[in-house]
């Protein structure tokens, strides 16, 4: 299959992916007693548009990067899971506009999801690895982690904070773009939060800068900038098709290669700015 050029690839993503979130009027949720805890409107009608955005991976190579000021200079900043800013401001900044969390973070005791202040700034967006092509009812009855019980608990404690749940269709639409652009079959697991968050921001922002998703000269086996844990699989992937995700992002990058090497920085156009 022919390898698409960067611009063609970008248009293919724009045309085939919709950042959908669960709303209170959606079946089967609309029939449940807690339906009105879900947002009335989808994320894309509540958030943005933003001019310039930053997506901050959690990679260990952000440590000692000194990128904090640059990251905070963007209009909106997306962070992942339990990645902190306190104590790491110099390297990752302190602004959090959106935090994308997987359902494992919501469910595990280690992350103190219901009580930690880490999750209280900005809007929350959660996702759960749903079975491929399963409908919402099947997924609802068999989520990977208890995303819905934790969602209800969190909403009761923080009723004013915007909190969205990604429609599982979105994760598989992104997965399909990876698969269709790779020569080999990739593992049938959803993309990492990193790529999901990048595509999410491409639908909200004019321009998206992704930091240390493609590793810079600081590349390290340190898994996260905030933990003393070493594992190359964090950067290369195991469960997630992470290496393929990175290959795709490399092809879509509109910034100079030098930016990747020095800043771990990739520049992607927002979908709204594309002429397809």
Instruction: Name the site residues for ligand NCC (rule: CB under 6 A).
Output: 57-60, 80-82, 102, 104-105, 192-194, 213, 223-224, 234-235, 239-240
Helices 6-16 and 168-180: crossing angle in degrees, nearest 10, is: 150
Closer of 95 and 224 to ligand NCC (Cβ):
224
Closer of 132 and 239 to ligand NCC (Cβ):
239
Cα R_g (the chain), whole angstroms: 18
- Least distance to ligand NCC from the beta carbon of 31, Å? 30
Closer of 29 and 124 to ligand NCC (Cβ):
124
Cα 58 from Cα 100, distance rounded (Å): 12
Yes or no: say if 59 and 225 are a contact pair by the CB < 8 Å rule. yes
Q: Which residue has the tokens 């080999």?
A: 184
> Do β-strands 98-102 and 123-127 pair in parallel, antiparallel, or remain unpaired?
parallel
- Least distance to ligand NCC from the beta carbon of 276, Å? 26
Closer of 33 and 87 to ligand NCC (Cβ):
87
Yes or no: say if 74 and 97 are a contact pair by the CB < 8 Å rule. no
- Least distance to ligand NCC from the beta carbon of 88, Å? 14
Cα 143 from Cα 134, distance rounded (Å): 11
- Least distance to ligand NCC from the beta carbon of 275, Å? 28
Cα 57 from Cα 236, distance rounded (Å): 13
Closer of 29 and 175 to ligand NCC (Cβ):
175
- Least distance to ligand NCC from the beta carbon of 196, Å? 8
Closer of 64 and 239 to ligand NCC (Cβ):
239
The residue sitting closest to ligand NCC, measured at its beta carbon, is 194
Bridge partners (DSSP) of residue 116 are none
For 126, the 3-state DSSP assignment is strand
Closer of 56 and 204 to ligand NCC (Cβ):
56
Cα 133 from Cα 153, distance rounded (Å): 28
- Least distance to ligand NCC from the beta carbon of 193, Å? 3
- Least distance to ligand NCC from the beta carbon of 147, Å? 13
Nearest to 260 by CA among 202, 199, 217: 217
Yes or no: say if 76 and 205 are a contact pair by the CB < 8 Å rule. yes
Question: How far out from the chain centre does Cα 188 lie?
Answer: 18
Cα angle 134-138-141, degrees, rounded to a multiple of 5: 145
Cα angle 103-104-109, degrees, rounded to a multiple of 5: 120
- Least distance to ligand NCC from the beta carbon of 64, Å? 15
Closer of 80 and 163 to ligand NCC (Cβ):
80
């Amino acid at each position: 299959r022919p390898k698409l050029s960067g611009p063609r690839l970008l248009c293919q993503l724009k045309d085939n992916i919709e950042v959908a979130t669960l709303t209170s009027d959606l079946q089967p949720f609309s029939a449940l007693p807690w339906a009105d805890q879900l947002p009335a409107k989808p994320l894309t009608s509540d958030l943005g548009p933003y001019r310039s955005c930053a997506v901050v991976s959690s990679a260990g190579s952000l440590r000692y990067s000194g990128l904090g000021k640059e990251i905070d200079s963007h209009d909106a900043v997306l962070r992942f899971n339990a990645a902190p800013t306190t104590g790491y401001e110099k390297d990752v900044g302190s602004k959090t506009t959106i935090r994308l969390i997987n359902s494992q973070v919501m469910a595990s005791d280690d992350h103190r999801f219901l009580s930690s202040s880490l999750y209280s700034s900005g809007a929350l967006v959660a996702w759960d690895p749903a079975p491929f092509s399963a409908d919402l009812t099947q997924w609802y009855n068999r989520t990977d982690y208890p995303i819905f019980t934790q969602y209800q608990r969190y909403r009761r404690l923080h009723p004013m904070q915007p909190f969205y749940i990604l429609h599982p269709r979105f994760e598989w639409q992104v997965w399909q773009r990876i698969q269709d652009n790779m020569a080999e079959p990739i593992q049938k697991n959803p993309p990492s939060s990193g790529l999901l968050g990048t595509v999410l921001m491409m639908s909200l922002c004019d321009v998206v800068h992704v930091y240390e998703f493609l590793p810079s000269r600081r590349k390290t086996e340190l898994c996260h900038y905030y933990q003393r844990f070493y594992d190359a699989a964090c950067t290369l992937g195991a469960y997630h098709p992470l290496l393929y995700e990175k290959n795709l992002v490399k092809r879509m990058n509109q910034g100079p290669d030098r930016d990747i090497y020095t800043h771990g920085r990739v520049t992607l156009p927002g979908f709204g700015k594309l002429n397809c």
